[in-house]
Amino acid sequence: MPLEPQLKQQLESLAHLIRRDSIDLTTQSGSGHPTTCMSAADIMSWVFFREIRLDQHNLDHPLADKYIFSKGHAAPLLYALMYRLGYLEADELKSFREIGSRLEGHPTLRLPGVVAATGSLGQGLSVAAGMAEVYQREGRDQKVYVLMGDGEINEGQVWEAAMLAGSRKLSNLIGIVDRNRIQQSNFCDQIVDAEPLDEKFRSFGWETVRINGHDFDAIAEAFAKARANTDKPFMIVADTEKGYGVSFLSGQLKRHGVALSAAEKEQAYAELPVADDLDIAALTQSRKDFGPVAELQPVRLSYSLSSADFDPAKKYAARAAYGDALKKLGGLSERIWVLDGDTSNSTYSDRFAGAYPDRHLECGIAEQNLVSAAVGVAATGKVAVSNSFARFFERAYDQIEMGAYSQANFKIVGSHVGISIGEDGASQMAMADCGFMRAIPDAVVLSPSDYVSAFKLTQALLEHEGFCYMRTFRGAASVLYSADESFPLGDYKVLRQSESDAAVVLATGYVVHEALKAADKLAESGLNVRVIDVYSLKPFNNDKLRAECESLGIKHVFTLEDHYATGGLGDLALDALNGSGIRVEKVAVQGWPESGSPEALLAKYGIDAAALYARVKQVLS
Amino acid sequence: MPLEPQLKQQLESLAHLIRRDSIDLTTQSGSGHPTTCMSAADIMSWVFFREIRLDQHNLDHPLADKYIFSKGHAAPLLYALMYRLGYLEADELKSFREIGSRLEGHPTLRLPGVVAATGSLGQGLSVAAGMAEVYQREGRDQKVYVLMGDGEINEGQVWEAAMLAGSRKLSNLIGIVDRNRIQQSNFCDQIVDAEPLDEKFRSFGWETVRINGHDFDAIAEAFAKARANTDKPFMIVADTEKGYGVSFLSGQLKRHGVALSAAEKEQAYAELPVADDLDIAALTQSRKDFGPVAELQPVRLSYSLSSADFDPAKKYAARAAYGDALKKLGGLSERIWVLDGDTSNSTYSDRFAGAYPDRHLECGIAEQNLVSAAVGVAATGKVAVSNSFARFFERAYDQIEMGAYSQANFKIVGSHVGISIGEDGASQMAMADCGFMRAIPDAVVLSPSDYVSAFKLTQALLEHEGFCYMRTFRGAASVLYSADESFPLGDYKVLRQSESDAAVVLATGYVVHEALKAADKLAESGLNVRVIDVYSLKPFNNDKLRAECESLGIKHVFTLEDHYATGGLGDLALDALNGSGIRVEKVAVQGWPESGSPEALLAKYGIDAAALYARVKQVLS
């Protein structure tokens, strides 16, 4: 049933006003993407003013519907909608793209209502799927709306998310593809032909409608269907024109990311009529009052590890201790959610999955979605932990950095690090993860060496608010610490020391045990070295290490790690000892790893006890 | 039309023999994935013995058909097929998964016929699409066969490749999905339901057939259709059983990546009958003699840059100089191919695309496929250059590392690095790329600072055999070098020096110009500093820098970079000056970047000339 002519005309005026605002913002800043805002202005005006339920006092209200501009370059459209809804003042619009402004080039968490930073394309649907999954599990009457561009449809991550959402039948998830047929460099079909778009989504388990995205009757009908839909995620493919409404922009190439001149702006305004009687307040149905909410309290997990939890005489893989901790600590807070990538029986996160299936989400072999969906789960107030082989997360480093940038309370736990995994070979070994993770601002990077440290660091990871990465090793190793040992972030543990230490050995993870063997052998030979377990790669106490080394008057620090020589423990030590004159001897993996037994590999690549022993002897003699 | 009963029975015996071999290899090594080999044994036996055209003397023959085991954990199946075809000796099979062996846990380039290392799932179809694109463009009668698992279908990269292949109508590309319905941790449909698989591929522009993967009549018919198909890529969805043929393995969970015991092996052999009259030689139709081929010669591009190529008085973005170089040098070798991700008008690779459309491949906004397809293009003997924003490549770091590990002659050129891109904000800024790229074994990492260095380094990048990464900046910068300047890999350029230099400033990329401004201002104030342009971040001549600094008797080296403080130039300097006592003062980006003008950002994050000036003054006074 068509809309009343009067209502339809009011909506068309509103959309034109939003188009004018989008042009105004970008012209004033001299950069940005006006035409991609104009194609989506009709459908998003409907969403923001008629469809979505927003809290009129708090865009971040946990009970409100959620929206994600996955095509983050349409930021001016979002800001214009927020302005006309009364969430932004006219003055603030002037700060668009200026330093210090909440109105950044692409949406960020500085702005209320933004659940995840966008701008790196193809991630929004994953974030939305994570949120929708939580709402559906908890029986909450909340919908998640995602605006996507037709260019980002090229991104495989969109199809990872589409497959998961279809498989999970997330009927509270509503996607919109702004099918304006023009990308940055060319017409979509000249780049990669993505048609038939609606058939693709149907084959991925979605309900779909395809409409004229500039016809409010069709828009209203599409969302009515979306509301009525109860068993599948719902995708609206909206055929639109980039730069719609303005003759010299509509359907034109070379207008992506190009602001209009002042003169062009005037001409455009003339082609975007806004009725004098436009009554925005009367049009607005989306604002509700959800009432006050309690603030989330930090997660505190009171669990005192005891020797009953493990056998100090046995050997454990760090991943196994992690699995135990995840199960035991996971029972202490309903907020803890775990996501997997079809490796839960290797990472031992299956111990959590078995105990708390209602807080476990299996995402399959799709690491980009596994990370971004966790960002979405975290956006609902959960502590989201994603698990896979550390190496497989390497294909999601941008998603991880975007998640950390989004201030998401998510954790990445990567197992099977280094050459010590053995026979599976280089494609399964994480060799460069420490360097990348250490570079991320505010990241916490942990590397346990035994059962107790893995257990305690899992607790620290779950309690820490924000992004945290932990790398766990595959092989079994003996227990080094007593159950009551504590592992504060940023500190380290001294495992061997004497008055006469001639050098310091810094080690992390699995090879800490090799360092201890080497130290004992060196001691037998009359040479004492201090052995330090660096379980916290970031933060790290540079001053403490430097003072400790200088107080010993040593000339050499040896770093032993199952990682490439760049980016890891060796570089951390160089930073800490910068300018001290103490030389850092990196003992790390050089060159491409291969298949073989862990022992044979550690020996061949020179990171076992024998290699360290020989290196220390050679350097110190 | 069904096969002759005798032929069918011979093929079934051959497949059982291959299953036995797959079991034997994994049992003997005590690890590996026998059951995933068994599900694909029938269809791959057909491919290797009846379908594909292999050179009987040289599996790497450039005119032969190509195959990729995208499900790399089926390596024993590949090795068994190679053994029965006569490409491997029985003795070598005994070395499976042992150190030094060509028979690694997952296929690597050590073994003839392997075009790209696999083991990181979901990448094979992209590599195959890159190869198929080259063969189709050049009108070569060669097909590419890809074996995929039904678990890796979760990977979005598969759909990036599927969309490109469908859009490009690569009818010489034949995919096989081994639909054995069991992944590592569970049944496929309990993880993420990927059905209807054949419909999905059809909606992505593929011709598809769905068959019983254990019925040789159906297999023969499917490949007959594939051969007859001329206008689309062809996908065979083969419904199979994991562990097919053995009662205690078939369709069982918990058998993924589990070798059989010796006793189980005996029992399995008993259930896998092989006819006494099996005549493998008679079955083999796939081996041909393609004759000798000339070896590829290194690419040498004789071009002498002259001042006619640019205006020394003008300012240029490094990306613009790169675009010029790519166009001019790209005309000197037919082997140079360029791939894009819908950013060619920003990276300026469109200058090549416009000049040599027959050697340009637009892959759309799909960076994982953009990288792996380049690995495929390189595998056909081309020099493959992929272009996008440096930040967007971050989502393809695993594909990049797998490509380098595959010894592929491919290049990644990332533009828009650092905060100097300005208003678009953090999601578009590459801030951690140097650290990751420097960690990759044998990588070459380049960072030009002006037109001349960008042009010359592009030539070095194209001539270098192997993986090379270059980061280019967005903003315009003045010309620093004369046209005849040379930039050997591993060296650096001294731009300011005096007898009385009190410190050394190392800078790279865009901010080299800030370093020069600061040095000039410092000189005016009576303080001379040496300014060095580090255009080659890897390799780097540690000894030369160390000797240069020590000869000056300085106590401080300042590093200036538009990059996070971890992983980049600062860490490189710490490595070079390790133990020297010279302190490295890192001047780099700390914390999360934001939107703003380049000038405002450089000032706020303290990496402009004024900040460096102040830092030097403060430290040296």
A23-46 tens-digit pLDDT = 999 999 999 999 999 999 999 999
How high does pLDDT run on average in chain B?
Answer: 97
Binning pLDDT at 50, 70 and 90, where does residue B289 land? very high
Confidence of residue A1 (pLDDT cuts 50, 70, 90): confident
B410 shares its domain with B457: yes
> B354 and chain A: CB distance < 8 Å anywhere?
no
Mean pLDDT to the nearest integer, B20-35: 97
Q: Which of A101, A185, A419 to mutate to test the interface with B (most CBs of B within 10 A)?
A: A185
Residue B234, chain A, CB below 8 Å: the answer is no
Contact B597 A99 (CB under 8 A): yes
Q: Name which of B109, B349, B365 to mutate to probe chain A: the one with the most chain A Cβ atoms within 10 A of its Cβ.
A: B365
Contact list, B584 vs chain A (CB under 8 Å): 578-579
Which of A105, A154, A157 is the closest to B423 by Cβ? A105
Residues A411-443 have pLDDT tens digits of 999 999 999 999 999 999 999 999 999 999 999
Whole-number Cα distances in Å, B196 to A515, B179, B210, B487: 53, 12, 11, 55
Q: Is the pLDDT of residue B273 over 90?
A: yes
Model pLDDT, residue A73: 97
CA B215 to CA B43: how far, in whole Å?
9
CB atoms B185 and A396 under 8 Å: no
- Contact B346/B388 with Cβ under 8 angstroms? no
Task: Quote the CA–CA distance of A242 and A250 in Å, as a whole number.
Answer: 6
Yes or no: say if B152 and A365 are a contact pair by the CB < 8 Å rule.
yes
CATH number of the structural domain spanning residue B118: 3.40.50.970
Q: Are residues B202 and B237 in the same domain?
A: yes
**Nearest chain A CA: its distance from B548 CA (Å):** 17
DSSP code for B568: S
Last residue of a domain, one of A478, A501, A530: A478
Same structural domain, B132 and B185: yes
> What average pLDDT score do residues B237-251 get?
97
pLDDT for the residue A444: 98
Distance (Å) from the C-alpha of residue B563 to the closest C-alpha of chain A? 10
Give the pLDDT of residue B1: 81
- Chain A residue closest to B162 (CA)? A156
Model-level pTM? Answer: 0.98
Given this model, what pLDDT does residue A165 score?
A: 98
A 22-61: CB under 8 A from B: 29, 31-32
Nearest to A425 among B106, B363, B392 (CB): B106
What confidence tier does B68 reach under pLDDT thresholds 50, 70, 90?
very high
B248 lies in the same domain as B147: yes
Q: Is the model's pLDDT at B516 over the cut of 90?
A: yes
Residue to substitute from A159, A190, A427, interface B, most B β-carbons within 10 A: A427
Q: Edge to edge, what strands does the sheet with B503-507 contain?
A: B493-496, B529-533, B503-507, B556-564, B583-589
Query: How many beta-carbon pairs below 8 A join chains A and B?
Result: 347
**B413 touching A (Cβ < 8 Å):** no
Cβ-in-10-Å burial (0-12, 13-18, 19+) of B401 comes to buried
Contact across the interface for A564 and B441, Cβ inside 8 Å: yes
What CATH number corresponds to the domain at position B517? 3.40.50.920
Q: Identify whether B379 is part of a domain.
A: yes
Instruction: Assess whether A230 and A332 both reside in one domain.
Output: no
Across the interface, do A159 and B164 touch by the CB < 8 Å criterion? no
Question: Could you tell me if B463 and B545 lie in one domain?
Answer: no
| A285, two tokens | 């149905």
User: Is B484 part of any domain?
Assistant: no
Q: A468 with A613, same domain? A: no
Same domain for B252 and B105: yes
Domain co-membership, B414 together with B520: no
Report, as an integer, the average pLDDT of A87-107.
97
8 A C-beta contact, residue A350 and residue A357: no
Q: Residue A458's pLDDT is what?
A: 98
Q: Answer yes or no: do A192 and B152 touch at CB < 8 A.
A: no
Quote the pLDDT of residue A470.
98
* Chain B residue nearest residue A360, CA to CA: B191
* Mean pLDDT along residues A540-562: 98
Domain-embedded: residue B387 = yes
User: Is B423 in Cβ contact with A32 (below 8 Å)?
Assistant: yes
Chain A: residue whose CA lies nearest to B436: A436
- B606 and chain A in contact, CB less than 8 A: no
Residue A562 parent element (H or E) = strand A556-564
Chain A residue numbers with beta carbons less than 8 Å from the beta carbon of B395 are 120, 157, 368, 395-399
Domain end residue (candidates: A418, A443, A478): A478
Residue A232 has what pLDDT? 98
A155: contact with B, CB 8 A cutoff = yes
Q: What integer best gives the mean pLDDT of chain A?
A: 97
Residue B74 pLDDT > 90, yes or no? yes
- CA A375/CA A385 separation, integer angstroms: 9
Give residue A416's pLDDT: 97
Sheet with A360-362: list strands edge to edge.
Answer: A360-362, A336-340, A383-389, A410-415, A468-471, A444-446, A536-538
Q: Which amino acid is at B309?
A: D
- B156 at A interface, C-beta within 8 A: yes
Judge whether B483 lies within some domain: no
Which of B97, B183, B402 has the CB atom closest to A595's CB atom? B97
Q: Determine the pLDDT at residue A585.
A: 98
Give the pLDDT confidence of A239-276 residue by residue, as tens digits: 999 999 999 999 999 999 999 999 999 999 999 999 99
Residue A399's closest CA among A359, A341, A350, A360? Answer: A341
CA separation for the pair A430, A449 (Å, rounded): 16
Give the gap in angstroms from C-alpha B458 to the nearest C-alpha of chain A.
23
Q: Is A5 on the interface with B (CB under 8 A)?
A: no
Residues A473 and A516 in one domain: no
Q: Do A578 and B584 touch (CB under 8 A)?
A: yes
Question: Out of A99, A193, A567, whose CB is closest to B167?
Answer: A193
Smallest Cα distance from A456 to chain B, Å: 27
Q: Is residue A302 part of a domain?
A: no
Query: Who's near B290: CB < 8 A, 6+ residues apart?
Result: B55, B58, B61, B63, B64
The verdict on B428 touching A (C-beta cutoff 8 Å) is yes
What is the pLDDT averaged over residues B47-61? 97
A141 lies in which domain range?
Answer: 5-287
Q: With CB atoms and an 8 Å threshold, state whether A193 touches B184.
A: no
Grouping H, G, I as helix, E, B as strand and the rest as coil, residue A246 is coil
Catalytic one of A152, A367, A401, A561: A367
Q: Catalytic pick from B104, B152, B367, B585? A: B367
With respect to residue A615, please indicate whether it lies within any of the assigned structural domains: yes
Report chain B residues whose CB lies below 8 A from the CB of A566: 435, 438-439, 567, 571
On the CB side of A315, CA atoms within 13 Å amount to 8
Asked which of A431, A446, A478 is the last residue of a domain, the reply is: A478
d(CA B512, CA B520): 12
CB distance from B450 to chain A under 8 Å? no
Q: Is B154 on the interface with A (CB under 8 A)?
A: yes
Among A97, A397, A581, select the one facing B395 at the smallest CB separation: A397
What is the percent of chain A where pLDDT is above 90?
A: 99
Neighbouring C-beta atoms of residue B493, cutoff 10 Å: 18
Which residues of chain B are within 8 Å of residue A571 when distances are taken between CB atoms? 566-567, 571, 574-575
**Contacts of residue B602 in chain A, CB cutoff 8 Å?**
none
Do B92 and B210 belong to one domain? yes
B202 and B91 assigned to the same domain: yes
Q: By the CB < 8 Å criterion, does A436 face chain B?
A: yes
In a domain, A455, yes or no: yes
Partner-chain contact B401 A428, CB within 8 Å: no
The number of folded domains in chain B is 3
- Does residue B307 lie within any of the structural domains? no
Q: Does A231 touch chain B (CB under 8 A)?
A: no
Closest B-chain CA to A366: B155
Give yes or no: B51 in active site: no
A469 in contact with B, Cβ within 8 Å:
no
